Amino acid sequence: MLDLDDIQHILLTRTPAMTGRYEFLTFDRADAGRAWLSEMLTTVQSAADAAASMDASARWVTVAFTWTGLRALGVPEQSLATFPAEFREGMASRATILGDTGDNSPQYWGGGLADDQLHAIAILFARDEPERRRCVDEHNRLLSRCPGVRSLSFLDLNATPPFNYAHDHFGFRDRLSQPVMKGSGEEPTPGSGAALEPGEFILGYPDEKGPPTDLPQPDALARNGSFMAYRQLHEHVALFRDYLRSRSDGPEDEELLAAKMMGRWRSGAPLVLAPHHDDPELGADPLRNNNFDYKTMDPLGYACPLGSHARRLNPRDTAVNMNRRRMIRRGATYGPALTPGARDDGMERGIAAFIICASLVRQFEFAQNVWINDRTFHELGNEHDPICGTQDGTLDFTVPKRPIRKVHKGLPAFTTLRGGAYFFLPGITALQYLAGRLP
């Protein structure tokens, strides 16, 4: 059974938030950090509490820490040493492994995200803009009461029209394929695979391999926790639109090329089930929009290219040991929508997401290194993920087609990494431990 009263809500719930803020913090003194956390504990919700109060709530708060943040709070060195090496090193130091090179390099990240002074993040999801402003004012007052805790930077979030479903700035429907864990109370939708052992995502539970091992110590700190990889991706919307237009014969052809790169139409309809024309009703139907495989229905990629974004990030039945690679994704968009047909206005806009998993190496770093930025994924030869992979103008994107395939050469970067970090997401009891409330 999952201890839903002790798991932070972000692991198990999606909220009806339309806006919010990520606040990145540093602790100059351990006692100040613990005082801040003690007050934040009154706002952090468990999965059980969030589920029970979802309709009545207007804001949802999550708190997480970097390894240097745990040290800044006063966690003993012998405990800090039990955390995985990749978490101790941090995302910026592992940029080469992740493919964060060129314009994606940590030297270009903003907001102090590549700095060892990044200690914590307060994640606010708010139902509407007035509630976001109220919560920001409340948190600013808390910071004024806790000298020694400073805000390094923040990122304000906002949904963009149409507001009736989640989507990115490129216009693609989001939140389509998420794993389900045993004990969560959810049932997998058709085609999404069986429910997985909770230890794939939450520390202290059995995973697909067996009982939990090598957990951080003490148990009060690790139990019901998880790890999060934060990624802020700027989306070059005007460039994407211009590229599609320059390589297509009319609007219908543009939409097909966009779908080929993503692996789904903008409506969310998968190419495997709708290979020639969009089907918005299919895309909006959770009982149908994941009910497909690749090995038997599209082994050569004639419908969904082998190197498309969706196929890389979820290879389904064409990957080995897939149940040990799944990840939970949470996040939101930021920045204003770019009006259709408008030129690049120089504004920042994109996705700011958290990839949640029990093992940063086995799940997140594997996906970045082997699926997103491996040139030879599915033996393609010279390709990265066309949407979020590292691009330097020398790589291709192949669209299989009879009798002659189409190879798009010299793909530009449609996204740029603006920052990232590794966080530990403690359980509620662990937050009390960190705040000094437990013996």
**Mean of pLDDT values over 294-305:** 97
Could you tell me the end-to-end alpha-carbon distance of the chain, in angstroms, rounded to an integer? 26
Q: What is the percent of the chain with per-residue pLDDT over 90, rounded to a whole number? A: 97
Q: Could you report the per-residue pLDDT of 92-139, keeping only the tens digit for each?
A: 999 999 999 999 999 999 999 999 999 999 999 999 999 999 999 999
**Mean of pLDDT values over 255-284:** 98
Q: What is the dihedral of CA 4, 196, 421, 57, to 10 degrees?
A: -30
Residue 363 scores a pLDDT above 70: yes
**Mean of pLDDT values over 236-244:** 98
d(Cα 250, Cα 397) in Å, to the nearest integer? Answer: 20
**Mean of pLDDT values over 267-292:** 97
Angstrom CA distances, 51 to 174, 189, 199, stand at: 21, 20, 21
Edge to edge, what strands does the sheet with 149-158 contain? 149-158, 19-27, 120-126, 59-65, 415-425, 226-235, 350-357, 328-334
Q: Could you report the per-residue pLDDT of 149-170, keeping only the tens digit for each?
A: 999 999 999 999 999 999 999 9
- According to DSSP, the residues that pair with 333 across neighbouring strands are 351
Residue 374 scores a pLDDT above 70: yes
DSSP code of 351?
A: E
d(Cα 253, Cα 89) in Å, to the nearest integer? Answer: 45
Q: What are 412's two structure tokens?
A: 């530009």
The pLDDT score that the predictor gives to residue 439 is: 59
The pLDDT score that the predictor gives to residue 438 is: 67
Helical (H) or strand (E) element with 257: helix 251-262
Residue 265 scores a pLDDT above 70: yes
Q: Could you report the per-residue pLDDT of 398-412, keeping only the tens digit for each?
A: 999 999 999 999 999
Mean pLDDT score across all residues of the chain: 96
Neighbours of 107 (CB within 10 A): 9
Angstrom CA distances, 293 to 63, 257, 290, stand at: 37, 21, 8
Please state the φ and ψ torsions of residue 390, each to the nearest 5 degrees.
Answer: -70, 125
| Extended beta strands in 67-205, E state | 120-126, 149-158
Global pTM reads 0.97
Token look-up 């139902």 returns: 127
Q: Give 437's pLDDT tier (boundaries 50, 70, 90).
A: confident
DSSP code of 216?
A: -
Q: Give 177's pLDDT tier (boundaries 50, 70, 90).
A: confident
**Interacting residues of 431 by C-beta distance below 8 A, sequence separation 6+:** 37, 40, 41, 44, 63
Helix, strand, coil shares, percent, the chain, to 5: 30, 20, 50
Residue 192 near residue 397 (C-beta atoms within 8 A): no
Amino acid at the residue 90: G
- Specify the 3-state DSSP secondary structure of 391: coil
d(Cα 122, Cα 59) in Å, to the nearest integer? Answer: 12
DSSP code of 189?
A: P
Amino acid at the residue 385: D
Neighbours of 269 (CB within 10 A): 25
Q: Could you report the per-residue pLDDT of 33-70, keeping only the tens digit for each?
A: 999 999 999 999 999 999 999 999 999 999 999 999 99
Token look-up 């864990």 returns: 181
Q: Could you report the per-residue pLDDT of 335-351, keeping only the tens digit for each?
A: 999 999 999 999 999 99
d(Cα 46, Cα 428) in Å, to the nearest integer? Answer: 7
Q: What is the percent of the chain with per-residue pLDDT over 70, rounded to a whole number? A: 100
